[in-house]
Structure 1
Amino acid sequence: MNPQKRLEILQRLQADNPNPKSELEYSSPFELLIAVVLSAQATDKSVNEATRVLFPLANTPEKILELGADNFLEIVRHIGLFRSKTKNVMQLCQELIDKYDSRVPEDFEALVALPGVGRKTASVVMNVAFNHPLIAVDTHVFRVANRTGYAKGKTPEEIQKKMERYTPLPYRVDAHHWFILLGRYICKARSPECWKCCINDLCEYKEKVLVKPEKKKVKKMIPGT
């Protein structure tokens, strides 16, 4: 894919959604950090359901430690990997208190060093909370980047490096959201809805479905036949 085509993809995504936002609910960098840690292998919807209960009770490192692991675990029990996430959040909160005066560090390497925080989580926090031009690569971004041909790679880290290299700076902060939302609602894993995609003529996916498939009618059996 050439630079001009990538630029047109970004321009169309921007026109379609000028102010994209994270679908996680938060009101501080700390709340965002906890929400993103909880979101690993979980939906934003399930995380928001948990944090709507959690954050009114505890939305600082001190308050979460005071709440305790058992109570925290009960709140997030419906989220995947809830036991390991509870353990990581408790350790993360203690490190924020001990090392950063209870504040979320605005530093990528410092974030990655926190328990339960990987490159994707650190990139999301740097992008969303602190407006740094990093492109976090989750399963949606990974799929869309490869499928469209925008940036191809075998690992999330490879995709991130390529996307940040290929994406002009004015678009880089929002590109993270555009690709996530495109992957979540249109460029789906099993059945991409290409017919409703604003970049379908620019996309290099060879198996595009440009006409909405008709639903198969199920014949109802007549009782007694």
Structure 2
Amino acid sequence: MAIDIAFFLETLRQEVETYQVPVVDLIAVQSRSAFKVLVATILSARTKDEVTALAAQRLLERAPDTESLRRLSVTQIQDLIFPVGFYKSKAQYLSKLPEALDAFGGKVPDEIDALVTLPGVGRKTANLVRAVAFDKDAICVDTHVHRIMNIWGYVKTKTPLDTEKALRKKLPKKFWKEVNRILVAFGQGTCRPVGPHCYRCILEQQCPQKGVTPAKQPKDLKKSPGRV
């Protein structure tokens, strides 16, 4: 049976208001700076949000704009962003970022084809920057979005890129910009990659749970759907 995607996402939109806000969205709210959102998004790849948040804070205090980042050496950037995942590679990307942005007048572009030309920026990062920094239609598909959409049976795909393509054809446009924020928070808090907490999920009764092995409910825990 096909799920009601609008019901699922609208229910979770309210649910995740009690969850921790993904760091990239938080930076966007605090600064409205496309440059800061881009930097934080590059740092966030394969890194826990709490680690990304501290690294982004350290780096952006020293380099809040393109020109100040240009003045930092690769070693200085490494020291500031450690211990994010692949920090040495990310330091190289960030060191090259100011020169790459020169091609766009020193400003972060808002088109996907332009964003993916920047060092360290793939489709996921480009879509996230377009949606979060510029409030423009984009579908950012990370591992949480890819995994949960397949658990729901809304798509049947093997890679995040395949999921992005499928969602562009199927997902109502009103959800494009926020689907990543909703499902990243939900995926980190309840629908976890290993041992998802289905027993406390607000969608437990409606979810198809495709390919899922839920965690067991602790005997001494009262059921409280969706709470971390």
TM range (shorter): 0.7 to 0.9
* TM-score for the superposition, normalised by structure 2: 0.85
Give the structure 1 partner of residue 35 of structure 2. 30
| Structure 2 CA distance for aligned equivalents of residues 148 and 126 of structure 1 | 26
**Shift in Å at residue 156 of structure 1?**
0.7
Which of residues 34, 49, 55 in structure 2 aligns to 1:50?
55
How large is the RMSD of aligned CA atoms in angstroms?
Answer: 2.2
Give the structure 1 partner of residue 217 of structure 2. 212
The amino acid of 1:78's aligned partner reads: P
Q: What are the superposed Cα offsets for residues 28-83 of structure 1, whole Å, 9 maximum, x if unpaired?
A: 11011011111111112111111211112111111011122221111112111111
Is 1:191 the counterpart of 2:195? The answer is yes
Is 1:129 the counterpart of 2:133? The answer is yes
Cα pair 1:144 1:182 within 8 Å, conserved:
no
| Structure 2 CA distance for aligned equivalents of residues 150 and 180 of structure 1 | 17
| Structure 1 CA distance for aligned equivalents of residues 180 and 187 of structure 2 | 11
Is 1:73 the counterpart of 2:72? The answer is no
Label 1:157 to 1:19 Cα distance change in 2 as closer, same or farther (>3 A). farther
The amino acid of 1:110's aligned partner reads: A
Q: Secondary structure at the match of 1:173?
A: coil
Map residues 157-172 of structure 1 onto 2, 5 A cutoff.
157-172=161-176
| Largest Rg, 1 or 2 | 1
Q: What are the superposed Cα offsets for residues 74-127 of structure 1, whole Å, 9 maximum, x if unpaired?
A: 11121111111111111122111x211211001110001111100000010011
| Structure 2 CA distance for aligned equivalents of residues 182 and 112 of structure 1 | 27
**Shift in Å at residue 208 of structure 1?**
6.1
Count of aligned positions: 213
Give the structure 1 partner of residue 112 of structure 2. 108
Give the structure 1 partner of residue 12 of structure 2. 13
The amino acid of 1:23's aligned partner reads: V
The amino acid of 1:53's aligned partner reads: R
Cα pair 1:64 1:93 within 8 Å, conserved:
yes
Cα pair 2:22 2:184 within 8 Å, conserved:
no
Task: Give the unaligned 5+ runs of structure 2.
Answer: 221-228
* TM-score for the superposition, normalised by structure 1: 0.86
Cα pair 1:22 1:128 within 8 Å, conserved:
no
The amino acid of 2:50's aligned partner reads: K
Label 1:47 to 1:176 Cα distance change in 2 as closer, same or farther (>3 A). same
Percent of aligned positions with the same letter in both sequences?
Answer: 31
Cα pair 2:22 2:49 within 8 Å, conserved:
no
**Shift in Å at residue 19 of structure 1?**
10
Give the structure 2 partner of residue 151 of structure 1. 155
Task: Give the unaligned 5+ runs of structure 1.
Answer: 216-225
Q: Secondary structure at the match of 1:181?
A: helix
Label 1:18 to 1:170 Cα distance change in 2 as closer, same or farther (>3 A). farther
| Structure 1 CA distance for aligned equivalents of residues 46 and 168 of structure 2 | 24
| Structure 1 CA distance for aligned equivalents of residues 16 and 191 of structure 2 | 16
Runs (4+) of structure 1 exceeding 6 A deviation are none
